[in-house]
Structure 1
């Protein structure tokens, strides 16, 4: 059991603590550590764990989780809430996705390695605290700063977790997502790399229900998305018995089972014609691009009927860069 678990297991009643999980040090002697806020309820119960940032440009979830924890009344709680606002402090401080000291994608490094590169050590330190303590974990993300999106969820299925798809989607529904995307852990046709190394998937492997909540665009504060996340945290805490109250949950979730990127063939300046969240028909134009002299270059079209999950907001584009993230297969999943 880690230092957070030991604090939550204490028998001294309601309490609140903030501190750091030691990981290492820099050449200057500055500590490498993961900050945390832990709120222990007056009565024992389940633990909701909110992880605010794996990538350094994902800000909305950090703000939402810290604000939610700040307004909790520990005396009225049965159970606990833990916030680890940043899992990647070097990336946060440098305002970039990846850790600048090893250039690894931290969300492909879990469960980590205590003797590995710095990202692997950060991953190990966090997982060591989560195991045996968390009953639910929300892995908070955004799209990168070049894109707009409506809040949505991403979830994975682990064959040995004991966590059902319906159970994940019932929790996801509490956050009012635009869509809930079931992700292929093999990464086929979607994203490269070790998708099985994601924090939420490794939590599932440890028997802890977990999913990713994507809260808009990166490197900026979006008040509506922060507020939506706070409402969702409260609803899930009520559902877990940590807080008192009633939850009127959605009965259906729009589930996306296949999605992919639309890319540019030529570099230029992109002008969108749709918005993130739109449903479009096969062949519909997402936008057009022009060259540096103002001449038309290409019309960016979808290869099938789709839901625009994320849309590029930065007009400066190069060959092979991403224009949009589009869902191509979806249904309405009944939660009744």
Structure 2
């Protein structure tokens, strides 16, 4: 067990904070992962909130730290751990990726103790999570260029022993607009090593884990922060960490089985006709491209119905740039009552 697990195992109501050393810069400044722990008066499960795998994802950091500050350890049967930034060098640079190796941290787990700095950061976290976290929420936002209502993403690991129903029950605490089941192979969605995502590697280690997407990057959105804080409390009660009834959660989830991007054929200024979260019918266009010569070209209409997971809010686009992230296949799934 690592530093955090040893502290939790010591027992007794307490709170603390510290850092997990990863390495150092040429100047001698440390590369480290800060953490906050709230240890309950009685034993129980551990909820782990992990913020900012990407350096521009702010809302989850604020929500997790505020939630930790509000807890009374004496009232808890179990524990809370917050690692508010998983990518401190990217945070300091105000960028998605670590500027020192340009790796995507959420494709780098479980990491490598002798690897590039991003791989070392991933390794340091996984050494602490294994055998300690009962549930881990991987806190994200969409690209800063997009608007998006809160939604969740989950994956399936064939050897985790964690049922899909348990994942859905945890995600329902956050009333997500959509719950997207991601193809770990990345087919039709994202390039790269999707199996290197933190939540997938946590599932491999027996920890229930999923992604909570809280709006847009590089900005503080109070409504999304408040939604996350309420969801953390609901989930903590559902897990038995906090006393009282579990509280309100959504009775059904719209589970998405296929997603994809709409990209621009030509450059110009993108002027949308709809909003993030809208359902767009087959035959409808999401907006127009306004050329600097005064021309107006509609974005090609949808060939089938879709739901806008995220919609570009920065109007300046070039050929091939993303305009919208769309759910193409979904089902409304009722959840068993708790």
Short-chain TM bin? over 0.9
Partner residue, 2:285: 285
Where 2:142 maps in the other structure, the secondary structure is coil
Distance in 2 of aligned mates of 1:117 and 1:328: 37
CA shift digits 1:267-298 (9 cap, x unpaired): 11100110001011112111100112221234
**Number of positions where the alignment pairs a residue of Structure 1 with one of Structure 2:** 335
Partner residue, 1:308: 308
- Using the TM superposition, give the Cα deviation of residue 333 of structure 1 relative to its aligned residue in structure 2, in angstroms: 1.0
Partner residue, 2:87: 88
CA shift digits 1:96-116 (9 cap, x unpaired): 100000000000000000000
Distance in 1 of aligned mates of 2:73 and 2:54: 30
Distance in 2 of aligned mates of 1:245 and 1:151: 26
Distance in 2 of aligned mates of 1:126 and 1:254: 31
Where 2:63 maps in the other structure, the secondary structure is helix
CA shift digits 1:209-233 (9 cap, x unpaired): 0000000000000011000000110
Distance in 2 of aligned mates of 1:89 and 1:300: 40
Partner residue, 1:229: 228
The 8 Å contact of residues 150 and 309 in structure 1, kept in 2 or not, is answered as yes
Partner residue, 1:321: 321
Distance in 2 of aligned mates of 1:46 and 1:9: 12
Partner residue, 1:160: 159
- Using the TM superposition, give the Cα deviation of residue 300 of structure 1 relative to its aligned residue in structure 2, in angstroms: 4.3
Partner residue, 2:36: 37
Distance in 2 of aligned mates of 1:75 and 1:303: 56
The 8 Å contact of residues 285 and 298 in structure 2, kept in 1 or not, is answered as no
Distance in 1 of aligned mates of 2:240 and 2:234: 10
Distance in 2 of aligned mates of 1:155 and 1:126: 20
Where 2:215 maps in the other structure, the secondary structure is coil
Distance in 1 of aligned mates of 2:313 and 2:302: 17
CA shift digits 1:159-205 (9 cap, x unpaired): 00011111100110110000100000000000000000000000000
Where 2:176 maps in the other structure, the secondary structure is coil
Partner residue, 2:275: 275
Distance in 2 of aligned mates of 1:26 and 1:301: 50
- Where does 1:195-274 land on structure 2 (aligned, <5 Å)? 195-246=194-245, 247-274=247-274
The 8 Å contact of residues 287 and 301 in structure 1, kept in 2 or not, is answered as no
Segments of structure 1 that go 5 or more residues without pairing to the other structure are none
The 8 Å contact of residues 148 and 310 in structure 2, kept in 1 or not, is answered as yes
Partner residue, 1:191: 190
- Using the TM superposition, give the Cα deviation of residue 335 of structure 1 relative to its aligned residue in structure 2, in angstroms: 1.0
Partner residue, 2:19: 20
Where 2:131 maps in the other structure, the secondary structure is coil
- Where does 1:33-182 land on structure 2 (aligned, <5 Å)? 33-182=32-181
Q: Aligned in 2, Cα 1:62/1:300: closer, same or farther, shift over 3 Å?
A: farther
TM-score (norm 1): 0.98
CA shift digits 1:103-162 (9 cap, x unpaired): 000000000000000000000000000001100000000001000000000000000001
Say which is worse superposed, 248-257 or 145-154, in terms of deviation: 248-257
Distance in 2 of aligned mates of 1:300 and 1:222: 32
Partner residue, 1:6: 6
TM-score (norm 2): 0.98
CA shift digits 1:33-82 (9 cap, x unpaired): 00000000111111000001100010000000000000100111111000
